[in-house]
Amino acid sequence: MMLPRAGLPPEPRLAWAYFLDVDGTLIDIADTPDAVRVDTALLDLIARLQRASGGAVALVSGRALSFLESRLGTLRLPLAGQHGLERRDAAGRIWIHAAPPAAKSAIKAALAPVLVRHPGLLLEDKGLTLALHYRLAPHLAAYAQRLMARLADEAGAGLEVQRGKRVAEIKPAGVDKGSAIAQYLTEPPFKRRRPVFIGDDRNDEHGFAEVNKLDGISIKVGRGKSCARFRLRDVAAVRRWLGKALNGKE
């Protein structure tokens, strides 16, 4: 079934600032975090867009910076990882918002017997956050969400649970993809450009809201309730839309 015509975004422009989620937006979601593969066609597209836009392209992901860097090969660009908790700006500087180590250790210890009882659950330690994936055990969704909410509350260290596609993630409160985008927009080459943010799940709503405040272009990939102003069907549609910015302009 086709998305309504009114939901399609306008033609992209090289004068805009592009902030792009990764999983479910630029690449299809894999069953496990380590199964993700970034193809050369995508790397070429991002590199070309970065050059043509004067460098105004950043990846804004739930992934750790180390993971993103390991998949990007020689491509180097601004990256916001772990939902903005770690951010590399266009000048190469790194900005970190860390969770208290003691609270993180206590949560991991509490989850250890749970993972033994439920092998379909997967704990991903991203360094600054703890993500409990239940993609391989969707029947445990409610249990996983309640458990992570309780552990975050018991930690009492300014932590919160962020919910995504079949994942519940404990992270420091008050930092998200929206705050990362706002920081980028105070810096060159993003400053004074109209922002674009493309994402696919609940973790991206903060980014959509921030871009909407600035009269930017917020694009939700796929179905689901969202505050995004525009829609694209899937990963392939995102790539085609970004490619339009380059047509005859390189």
Q: Answer whether 0.85 is exceeded by the pTM.
A: no
- pLDDT above 60 for 178: yes
Q: Share the mean pLDDT of the chain.
A: 91
Which residue(s) pair with 172 in the sheet?
159
- pLDDT above 80 for 99: no
The question of whether 39 is a catalytic residue gets the answer: no
Mean pLDDT in residue range 108-115: 96
Q: Which amino acid is at 171?
A: K
pLDDT at 1: 39
Q: Where are the beta strands (DSSP E) in 126-239?
A: 130-133, 159-164, 167-172, 195-199, 217-221, 230-232
- pLDDT above 60 for 83: yes
pLDDT at 3: 44
Length of the chain: 250
pLDDT at 29: 82
Contact criterion met (CB below 8 Å) for 196 and 29: no
* Identified catalytic residue from 21, 23, 176, 204: 21
Question: Helix, strand, or coil here: 22?
Answer: coil
Contact criterion met (CB below 8 Å) for 132 and 111: yes
Mean pLDDT in residue range 6-26: 92
